[in-house]
Amino acid sequence: MLRIEDVKLAVVGLGYVGLPLAVEFGKKRPVLGFDINKRRIDELKSGHDHTLEVEGEDLAAAEHLRYSHDAEALAEANVFIVTVPTPIDQYKQPDLTPLIRASETIGRVLKRGDIVIYESTVYPGATEEVCVPVLESVSGLRFNEDFYAGYSPERINPGDKQHRVTTIRKVTSGSTPEVADLVDRLYAEIIVAGTHKAPSIRVAEAAKVIENTQRDVNIALINELALIFNKLGIDTQAVLEAAGTKWNFLPFRPGLVGGHCIGVDPYYLTHKAQSIGYHPEIILAGRRLNDSMGSYVVSQLIKAMTKRRIQVQGSRVLVMGLTFKENCPDLRNTRVVDIVRELAEYNIDVDVYDPWVDPEEAVAEYGIRPVEAPAEGAYDGIVLAVAHKQFCDMGAARIRALGKPEHVLYDLKYVLTAEEADLRL
């Protein structure tokens, strides 16, 4: 059995999850940071992280961390932490391709006694039912005899500078009690918030996938309440503030639900549930409602413009923000694109403005090229879709100045007061 002092660590996948993890371990012990994207490796070697999750000084502080895009370099490691994306496909089914490819890559260098730890969000059972067979097939080794596995779900919150990888309690697990102990001790080296050792890999997988499913369902409830209150002519934010005076009222807010976690993870759980003959009701209902919010926002905007006798067809609308959340450049599964595409269906000329976004990435991912700066006095409608600090600092007057004398301002994020905006969720 591998001893903690003999661990030679490799982190596979250096995105929003893998890089912060590799950096923290790299401050304590030798670590190989591996990514198949040579451009990403070159960027990190130069001391820059375009995701803005890790500052330059932290990259420099990880003195034991080195980077490579050469898969053969992984051969020197005996513990591998896999942090690749687990998205959904166009049919909203789990896409485990990145996870399988990473497992194949590791399988080619896997040796007796090695441990493979997965952090990517999956459904309960995926590690042992999907990943382990790939490792066995490629390596020719036997699970829990020649090599072992662990699962420790990531809890990264992009753009959050308060809750960092070291300050969020870490769930750990292993395929045998001894491996579970080693995995737990390994993470305890960097996690100051402490660890929670789950009794099995399946429990750890399930715990992760329900964290974001719970949030998704709760947000869906608030979104539905917002639809009801809008029909009643009641300000949703005012209702939530009043209800929030009770000590156990949960502080969720309505809005678009995107990103790589909340808008994706529930589909992993429902996929597994359906595979065992159970059709989830509440989870899928919540997903449908949250996925419909972009269309609802556009319908409300069009109604408001029509009431003000603003010609809809051929009008200009500014969408402020494209990322899935505020103050980060992450475009993964952003639902702002639903608003942009729905507006285009009405033959509306849409400008998207987001100072956080890499324009080339936006073009490659969604076919949307953000404007460098919005024109003043040019827009019939303005949708404040993401609460970036820059937008909050502008205030109502400067945002209004972007619109024509007669325009509609829709605030999705409660950046403005009810009096300052024409529409709010």
Report, as residue numbers or ranges, the catalytic residues. 261
Are residues 95 and 89 in contact, defined by beta-carbon separation less than 8 angstroms? yes
Q: Which tokens hold the place of 256?
A: 């678009």
**Contact status, residue 183 vs residue 152, Cβ threshold 8 Å:** yes
Helices (H), 233-264: 236-243
Sheet strand arrangement including 115-118: 65-68, 31-34, 9-12, 79-82, 115-118, 148-151
Q: Are 370 and 350 in contact (CB under 8 A)?
A: no
- Which of 422, 381, 377 has its CA nearest to residue 402? 377
Q: Please, which residues have CB within 8 angstroms of residue 99's CB and are 6 or more apart in sequence?
A: 82, 84, 86, 118, 120, 122, 126, 130, 131
CA distance 346 to 340: 10
DSSP annotation of 128 reads I
Of 209, 212, 186, 148, give the one whose Cα is nearest residue 11: 186
* Secondary structure E strands in 48-87: 65-68, 79-82
